[in-house]
Each structure stands twice: as C-alpha cells, then as structure tokens.
Amino acid sequence: MITIAAFKWVPDFARGFVRDLRLRWALEEAGIPYEVELIDSEMQKSETYRQWQPFGQVPAYRDEEVELFESGAIVLHIAATSKALAPADHPGQAQVAAWVFAALNSVEPRAQNYIHLRNAVSEDLQKAITAKLHDRLNALSDRLGDEDYLEGRFTAADIVMTTVLRELAAEEALSGFPRLQAYVDRNEGRVAFQKALSDQLADFDR
Amino acid sequence: MITIAAFKWVPDFARGFVRDLRLRWALEEAGIPYEVELIDSEMQKSETYRQWQPFGQVPAYRDEEVELFESGAIVLHIAATSKALAPADHPGQAQVAAWVFAALNSVEPRAQNYIHLRNAVSEDLQKAITAKLHDRLNALSDRLGDEDYLEGRFTAADIVMTTVLRELAAEEALSGFPRLQAYVDRNEGRVAFQKALSDQLADFDR
C-alpha cells in the first residue's frame, strides 16, 4: 500500500496548492489507491519525520519498495510503473524527466519569485523578476505551440508543469500567455485532477 | 558518441560554474568519453538549438538513444548506466533522484536568491532570504551528519548537490556550516571533478 504525507493544516491561500497534490493527481491518473498521513507542525519538526523528509516539507512517499521525498522524484517513481503517466521505454521516460526538471528548476523558481517577491522589491527589480519569468514562459509557450501536451500525449510532465503554472494563473499572471492558460485549463479539467484537488481540500477538514 | 552543449563564452565570474560542469563531472566519474558542442549567443537563440534546449540554456545532451535537456535529468540518465554514479537497483536510483531534485528545487532556488538578490533588497527581505536559505542548509547539515556522502557512498546526488553548494562556498556563505563546507571540499577534491572543471575552463579558450 502507498502512503503519502500531507499537511494537516495550511492557511487558506495555500489550500489546493500544496505539493502533495502532484502525487495525488499522478496516483489518480494511474488508478493506484493510496493512504494519507497528515503531518502537524510538531511532527514536521520531529526526528522521525526528518528521517523521511529531511527538510520537513511535504510530500513524502512510501510504498513496499521505497521511502522517498521531493515531489519530482516521487512523480517520476510512480510514472515508471504506469503507462498512464509516461511511455514504457527509457528514452520516453527520460524526456518526461527532462520536463519535470524544467518545471521545477527552470520555471518554478522564477514563478515563485514573481509571486512572493515582486511586491516587496524596488520597481527596477520588480521588472527584472517579471522579465526573467516571461523569458521562460515565452520559451515554454513557443515550444508547446499548438500541441495539447509537452510530449505529444498526457504524461507526468504535464502534471508537474501544470501545478507550477496554475499558481501563476491564480495570480492572473498568464493573461499574456493564452496557450499556457489554455494548457492549465485543459489539464485542470481532467477527472483525475479534480478528484486529487477535492481530496486534498477534504483532508484539511478531517 | 555523447555530445554535450556548453557555452562558447560566459563572463569571468561564471567560468567554472556553468551547469555543463555537472555532466562533465558525471561522465568523468563514469569514465565515459564525450564531445563538446560550443554554443554562441546567436545559436542560443536559433530554432535549431531551441528544439534541443527549449529555454536556450546549457547544458543539452545527445547520445545514440536520446536528446535531453536539464542537467538534473541528464545526470540521472547517465547515472542509470553507471555503477560509479548510482546503485544498480531501482530503489537506490530513486533515492539518488530524490537528492538531485532536493538540490535543484529545495536548495538551489534559495541559494540563487541569496547570491543574486540579497544585495538588492531591503534589510528585512535580506534577512528573510538568508533565513530561508539557512533553514535548508541546517536541515541538510543535520541529515548529512558525520557521513561523507548523501547516500552512504558517492553518487550523482553528490555531484548535483556539490555544484549547488560550491556557489555558496564561493560567496563564503557556508562558513556557519562546517559539515557542508567540508562536503564541498571533499567532493571538489575528486580527480573527476578537477578534470571536469579544467576542461570547462579550457573550452572558453578554444
């Protein structure tokens, strides 16, 4: 049986955006059942939890084979077992991994700075932070072109990229990027995403 | 034959830190020969290069099986083929992947903000940026403890984590983290690292 760790409580603005959503979504797409272990702030600091998740973040993941942390690594681990999330061949899985890293290292840091820092810095720096984000969004939009998905079909790459982009969409920061907004809308429309989202939200009321 | 893309020119401060170093280091550890394709600013913007590397960054990678981008994905692809870089079993490789994602998503964004933004923001924000970085460095140092490597033996995880941390070491930002400074020194002392570094530097004079 698979167990994932999620937070017992987060402020309202973070609900629906916590990163265990990536795992829930991937597991729903793959049709794999899972249990949720809710972590409170005391457990988060504990030695026991730090053994599982060294930084005290969520998500963390456990199955019969491995204990893992980092949403990107966990999503790729799940994707390696399900054709719903990636091609079965190594080259296809490596391409999916490239896009997962792109989402988490080339796009997300710039998106997070845009969301969390731009209102606290000088006008010049605000422009620089916005330009750095737009550089990546333009490149991503160009690459996506008229395709529905990053790798020709829906994969784990779209799960991770969508979760990064939908935080920008929530800030209305994709209005100049209609292809990316449509990409987020398309992926958020999936049954598996909606189920994952409502399950994350429901767990805060448990 | 393996080909990697690296920049033909970067400013002096970036020499020795460009991310193709991660690939060079991994390939040296694995004893795999490779060729370097140097990318100038015109090629960087070209359609052809964007097909290979959608964001126009380096590195990019090509072998007989795949074309890839994102240093994290490429290092894991190389690690899957060499016992010098990761255990041969899937659980061991998944643990290495977790640390590669941790380096690139949990540590690097905070390190980069510390390096590039802290001198351009208010004192309060400077403190917050520093605190966010130190939170991750403390957790990493606690987890490393008295071990030499992240996963009990040298792996690809140490390559990527070291390249993230050595940028902080170059700013003297690890002085409060003696275990992490020793970790960087230990890994930078490896023959394969030194060869990779001198090859990157030499290519700027080609």
A4-42 pLDDT tens trace: 999 999 999 999 999 999 999 999 999 999 999 999 999
* Element containing residue B37 per DSSP (H, E): strand B34-39
Domain match, A78 and A95 both: no
**Count of domains for chain A:** 2
CA distance readout (Å), A154 to A85, A138, A157, A186, B78 = 7, 21, 8, 11, 25
Domain match, B173 and B103 both: yes
The pLDDT, as a whole number, for residue B65 is: 95
Tell me if chain A has a CB within 8 Å of the CB of B174. Answer: no
Residue B206 inside a domain? The answer is no
Is the per-residue pLDDT at A206 higher than 90?
no
Domain match, A48 and A125 both: no
Nearest CA in chain A to B63: A91
Domain match, B173 and B197 both: no
The pLDDT, as a whole number, for residue A18 is: 98
Residue B51 inside a domain? The answer is yes
Contact A70 B98 (CB under 8 A): yes
Enumerate the residues of chain A whose CB falls inside 8 A of the CB of residue B56.
139
Domain match, B97 and B69 both: no
Q: Which pTM was predicted?
A: 0.98
Confidence of residue B17 (pLDDT cuts 50, 70, 90): very high
B134-143 pLDDT tens trace: 999 999 999 9
**CATH for A169:** 1.20.1050.10
A83-134 pLDDT tens trace: 999 999 999 999 999 999 999 999 999 999 999 999 999 999 999 999 999 9
Structure tokens at B159: 């390559």
Among candidate residues B60, B46, B70, B54, the one with its CA nearest the CA of residue A142: B54
Contact A125 B108 (CB under 8 A): no
Tell me if chain B has a CB within 8 Å of the CB of A120. Answer: yes
- Give residue A39's domain range: 2-84+192-203
Contact A54 B109 (CB under 8 A): no
Q: What is the DSSP pairing of strand B2-7 with strand B34-39?
A: parallel
**What is the largest distance, in Å, between two alpha-carbon atoms of chain B?**
51
Enumerate the residues of chain B whose CB falls inside 8 A of the CB of residue A142.
50, 54
User: Reduced to 3 states, what is the DSSP secondary structure of residue B183?
Assistant: helix
Instruction: Report, as an integer, the average pLDDT of B153-180.
Output: 98
Domain match, A11 and A57 both: yes
**CATH for A57:** 3.40.30.10
The pLDDT, as a whole number, for residue B206 is: 85
Using an 8 Å Cβ cutoff, are A110 and A133 in contact?
Answer: yes
Size of interface A-B (CB pairs under 8 A): 129
Instruction: Report, as an integer, the average pLDDT of A149-155.
Output: 97
Tell me if chain B has a CB within 8 Å of the CB of A137. Answer: no
Is ipTM strictly over 0.90?
yes
Domain match, B6 and B56 both: yes
Contact B73 A100 (CB under 8 A): yes
